[in-house]
């Protein structure tokens, strides 16, 4: 049941993000699962930690040992390429295979 619910949320996010990202905000797809104006102690919809100041910040989630302990631009790039490849079973279903789009996302994260 829980899995079904998560699937439904992820599906909703995908549809929502298509509309928002076409408006040109690289962080549009993140909105359903992350706050931008709050730190890691606050999770949105019980999913993603707040992303305020994330670039250069300590990694707050567990099980991403290979990335080190800080969200450097390189670590973010690896994570955003495919979170599921970094952490098996993660609930972050978003991934971005296109390098240019990831670069835009990371640029936008720097402003949070």
Q: Which residues bind ligand HEC (CB under 6 A)?
A: 10, 13, 29-30, 32-34, 40, 47-49, 51, 54, 59-61, 71, 76, 80, 87, 90-94, 105, 109
User: At its nearest, how many Å lie between ligand HEC and the CB of residue 3?
Assistant: 13
Taking CA atoms, 40 is separated from 34, 49, 67, in Å, by: 9, 4, 17
For 65, half-sphere exposure in the C-beta direction (CA atoms, 13 angstrom radius) is 2
User: At its nearest, how many Å lie between ligand HEC and the CB of residue 73?
Assistant: 11
* Cβ distance to ligand HEC smaller for residue 91 or 103: 91
- The answer to whether the beta carbons of residues 66 and 87 sit under 8 Å apart is no
């Amino acid at each position: 049941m829980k899995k079904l619910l998560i699937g439904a949320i992820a599906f909703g996010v995908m549809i929502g993000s298509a509309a928002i990202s076409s408006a040109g905000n690289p962080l549009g797809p993140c909105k359903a699962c992350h706050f931008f104006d709050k730190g890691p102690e606050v999770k949105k919809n019980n999913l993603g930690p707040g992303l305020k100041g994330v670039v250069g910040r300590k990694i707050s989630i567990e099980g991403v040992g290979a990335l080190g302990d800080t969200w450097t631009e390189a670590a973010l790039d690896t994570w955003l390429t495919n979170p599921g490849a970094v952490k098996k079973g993660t609930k972050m279903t978003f991934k971005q295979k296109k390098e240019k789009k990831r670069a835009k996302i990371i640029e936008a994260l720097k402003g949070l």
